[in-house]
Amino acid sequence: MAALAKKQEATAARLAEMAVPSGGQWITEAREAALARVKGMGLPERRDEYWKFTRPDTLVQSEVAEAATFETGEAPLFDEIERLKVVFVDGVFDAAQSDDLSAEGLVIERLQDVAGADIHWAKDLYGKLELKGQDPVQRPLAALNTAFASDGLVIHVTGKVSKPVNLIYKHAETSSDAILHHVIKLDAGAELTVLENGPAAARFNKVMEVDVADGAAFHHVRAQGRDHERRAVTHIFGRLGTESVFKSFTLTVNGRLTRNEAVLELTGDDAVAHVAGACLGDGDFHHDDTVFVTHDALNCESRQVFKKVLRNGAVGVFQGKILVKPGAQKTDGYQISQSLLLDEDSQFLAKPELEIYADDVACSHGSTSGAIDEDALFYLRARGVPKDIATDLLVMSFVAEAVDEIESETLKDSVLARLEGWLERRRD
Amino acid sequence: MLEIKGLKVKLENEDKQILKGVDLKVEAGKVHAIMGPNGSGKSTLSYVLSGKDGYEVTDGAATLDGEDLLEMEAEERAALGLFLAFQYPVEIPGVGNMTFLRTAVNAQRKARGEEELSAADFLKEVRAKAKTLKIDADMLKRPVNVGFSGGEKKRNEILQMAMLAPKMCILDETDSGLDVDAMKLVSEGVNALRDEGRGFLVITHYQRLLDHIKPDVVHIMADGRIIKTGGPELALEVEKNGYADILAEVA
């Protein structure tokens, strides 16, 4: 207990530097509860089992390590997609750069506005899925976010929305420290696609809580990229109702440190949850995918597909779990995490876990780490494809299974073009 | 066209000599066949010529139209006009057959300083050539060789050969894994490419492929050397009596 007491003491000292934003009664209650949670758990330390492969120091400490902004010269991702743009600059909503937030089938509000009200429907969601996601594994940085976030979106989806909502995160200040908290509620049968892209800030802490009611569908495609020195910790908490669908894909390139947690709970029968990611890391790059999928209903399907391409000392981490609760029969769970190590300096650390308390389920998992396939490389070269282009083709081939998790062909093409651009810039 | 002189090759990581002095000359417009027992070095010869890693040339030379092949990267040899039809074509999931073909064709054109083929021109050409090899649109769309049958893989090799229009074609046991009909189809594809400006080196275990692709010259290879050279009748002799007689004769 001495260790915990020490941790709590350090956490209290760190949190004393921060101020819980003021707001109406409902959000103040939620924030105070979250603050108490963080204080109780303590902020993550290197000794923590859940942070064994990723050093939390820079995500936790007072000083924000500076991060320069970086221009690739490419058109912004999703630019060619018809979408509703919502822009945040260093974690602050920018109305001038954003579209009009009113649209058919959904109500978009700003957390800051909603927080001023004494009562709002968001009280049933804000910090609630995060709280649920604290058990059995603690996620203190998510609770920290709930306590201190002052901006973000509160979205209520009532119908089938065809135009995606695109959250664009711009990074302007070299030492910006941004916290955003989004809450998304999909009514029964509703549909929404959320796109996210941009480097966001020098340090970024983001939580997204998504409640997908019966028969609703939520699609999420995200690209975290560009700025080489940025750091980010993100959490997505999802609750899935009967026959609902939740599909999330993340592309990560560049960035010194990224930890993406996805915590999904299948609470209604016949629900489908897919979470996938592809990352390309070159040099000073540490990418961590931590996923926890809980099956708590009949006949649900979940897939975790993660592919990491690493070179020049880049590090990839995967901690993925499928928990099948008692009675969650006919569960179909799949988990694959693979890395392609382009040199001997790079490393991949994986901790795949299955915990199953039902006897009629099909769960499979696999984790591999390997170099480029020399036979395939020779085959391509023997056809006249130069080595660098052949290698890139094989990299694209490697990440294909993860990118294929994106249902929309248009979005898939955008992501693939972005991957190709990244590879091309690195050719000799 | 292709000229190999005193070629000696060992494995890079092992002290094992595989080719012990191969001499061979394939003229433009001719089909040469190499036959020989297992382990004689036939496939090694094809790999060394096309630039696969893992081998060390200890002596000798190999040139294509007078240019030193052994100094070049695999892709440079391909752009110069050398083509190897693989015994085991490699599966590449996630890369469409069409993308692969177009990348290869245009990479070679670029290396030769020629203009790249437009998407439309490429498509037209590939469709016409695929049709004669009975390769359907689905096979063109699928990832390279993934889920292809043995016959489909070999037909796909010939399609690549037709699209790349090389000067010198090496066919490494193209008949392995083929039934009679597939062998006929593949052979027709090869024969359609026979041309006075193009040379062929056909590596095979069996005479039956040579019924379809008629060679001008037949070489017998054993223990890393060409031990006998003759006309098509040499292949028939092997078919009838095996290699034992020939091996005994030169021993």
What would the pLDDT profile of A135-160 be if each residue is shown by its tens digit?
A: 999 999 999 999 999 999 999 999 99
Domain count along chain B: 1
Distance CA B226, CA B232 (A): 16
SS3 B108: helix
Q: Mutate which of B103, B114, B142 to test chain A, going by most A C-beta atoms within 10 A? A: B103
Kindly give, in sequence order, each residue whose CB lies less than 8 Å from that of residue A82, ignoring residues fewer than 6 positions away: A163
With an 8 Å Cβ cutoff, are A393 and B92 in contact? yes
Whether the CB of A394 is below 8 Å from some CB of chain B: the reply is yes
| From B94, B108, B160, residue closest to A396, measured CB to CB | B94
Residue B55 within a domain:
yes
Could you read off the pLDDT of A328-371 as tens digits, one per residue?
999 999 999 999 999 999 999 999 999 999 999 999 999 999 99
Domain housing B79: 2-95+168-249
Domain ranges of chain A: 2-373
Residue B78 within a domain:
yes
| From A379, A398, A399, residue closest to B90, measured CB to CB | A379
Query: Is 90 exceeded by the pLDDT of residue A241?
Result: yes
Residue B189 within a domain:
yes
Query: Is 90 exceeded by the pLDDT of residue B178?
Result: no
Whether the CB of A162 is below 8 Å from some CB of chain B: the reply is no
pTM: 0.91
- Paired sense of beta strands A347-356 and A362-370, if any: unpaired
Residue A425: the pLDDT is 87
ipTM > 0.85?
yes
Mean pLDDT value across residues B205-221: 91
Residue A383: the pLDDT is 97
Shortest Cα distance from A421 to chain B (angstroms)?
16
Interface A–B counts its CB contacts (< 8 A) at 82
Task: Tell me the CATH number at B22.
Answer: 3.40.50.300
Residue B246: the pLDDT is 83
Q: Mutate which of A340, A368, A379 to test chain B, going by most B C-beta atoms within 10 A? A: A379
SS3 A355: strand
Query: Is 80 exceeded by the pLDDT of residue B251?
Result: no
- Paired sense of beta strands A92-93 and A84-89, if any: antiparallel
| From B53, B78, B93, residue closest to A383, measured CB to CB | B78
| From A373, A375, A382, residue closest to B84, measured CB to CB | A382
Which of A353-370 are b and which e, b meaning 16 or more Cβ less than 10 Å from the residue's Cβ? eeebebeebebebebebe
